[in-house]
Amino acid sequence: MKVAVTGASGFIGSAVARELSASGHEVTALTRHPESYTGAGTPVLAEIQDSRTLRLALAGQDAAYYLVHSLATVDFAARDRAGARAFAAAAADAGVSQVIYLGGLGEETDELSPHLRSRREVESILMEGAPTTALRAGIVIGDGSISWEILRQLVERLPVMVTPRWVQTRTQPIALDDALHDLTGVLGQQAAIGETYDVGGPEPLTYRSMMETVSRLMGLRRLIVPVPLLSPRLSSHWLRLITDVDLTTAQSLVDSMTNEVVVHDHRIEKLLGHAPMTFEAAATRALAVRAKRLGLAASRHVAA
């Protein structure tokens, strides 16, 4: 199939482009900078909010992945809304048979964070404007994922963690390999068009339990002390000081970390016949990939 991938330079998008190319699909990577693109597929100029470039890039494509969002910008909701509308219209005009979107988990009855509300709004816009399959995920565990890097860096850098109360919030992380299996597995599945699927690992976990697992895997002893008085604003500054994440992204992530994001719908596991790996297995793999990338010894994941 001819498949277009937006966000092909990002963490998820680049992995999807590689997986599709390895499976024999003809991948077109939509990018603002085709001259510097080095990932899988053929780069083609496209601005997400520019209908003209989108129509040209999507012409002749059988399917398309929408894997972009503006987390690091203050006006992310408006930008994502405009981008989704332009993309849905361009995909419909080009006759794209399936758009595949990765959004976020979270209960509609919960007071979703601005970030999660925006992801849900994008999902609705795409579903209404083009034949779309939507997947909803929490944290994706893999080397290079922002959420995973926050967990790993907190464990690595803080012997004693005086943490915000969101460390008790439950989420349902999914391994990168499992997310890729689901994202590529629904491609071309007629039964999946117009459907929304929850994707995640085998069980919900608190951020605290994940950090405890990561510290054990890294051979570190860490003391975690939740402090309920840390406001979201102070919490985001705390993340900015301890980790490499920028303040705008930290604020969006902290807002979302107060929402419980767990899987309630397991239909995709039956559809694709695939059981996801545990968080411990996913974290072990992510640490091993990082060690290999940095040339570290297999048993030494902590930077000197």
Phi, psi of 67 (to 5 degrees): -130, 40
pLDDT for residue 226: 72
Strands 196-198 and 63-66: unpaired
Name the superfamily (CATH) of residues 2-139+175-200+262-276. Answer: NAD(P)-binding Rossmann-like Domain (3.40.50.720)
**Residue of 288 and 207 predicted with greater confidence:** 288
User: For 46-51, which contacts have Cβ atoms below 8 Å and span 24 or more sequence positions?
Assistant: 46/6, 48/6, 48/83, 48/86, 48/87, 49/79, 49/82, 49/83, 49/86, 50/86, 51/86, 51/89, 51/90
Show the tokens assigned to 260.
């419980």
pLDDT category at 304 given cuts 50, 70, 90 is: very low
Q: Give the domain ranges of the chain.
A: 2-139+175-200+262-276
Segment 80-87 shows an average pLDDT of 94
- Average pLDDT rounded to a whole number, residues 237-253: 63
Which distant-in-sequence residues (6+ apart) come within 8 Å of 49 by Cβ?
A: 79, 82, 83, 86
Residue type, 206: T
- What percent of the chain stands above pLDDT 70? 84
- Positive or negative torsion for Cα 39, 269, 97, 134: negative
**What does the pLDDT look like over 117-127, one tens digit per residue?**
889 999 999 99
Highest mean pLDDT, choosing among 10-24, 66-80, 99-113, 282-296: 10-24
Task: Output the pLDDT for position 13.
Answer: 96
> Given pLDDT bands bounded at 50, 70 and 90, which one contains residue 260?
confident
Residue 224 is predicted with a pLDDT of: 80
Residue 303 has pLDDT above 60, yes or no: no
Q: Quick one: pLDDT band at residue 225, thresholds 50, 70, 90?
A: confident
Q: What is the pLDDT of residue 201?
A: 96
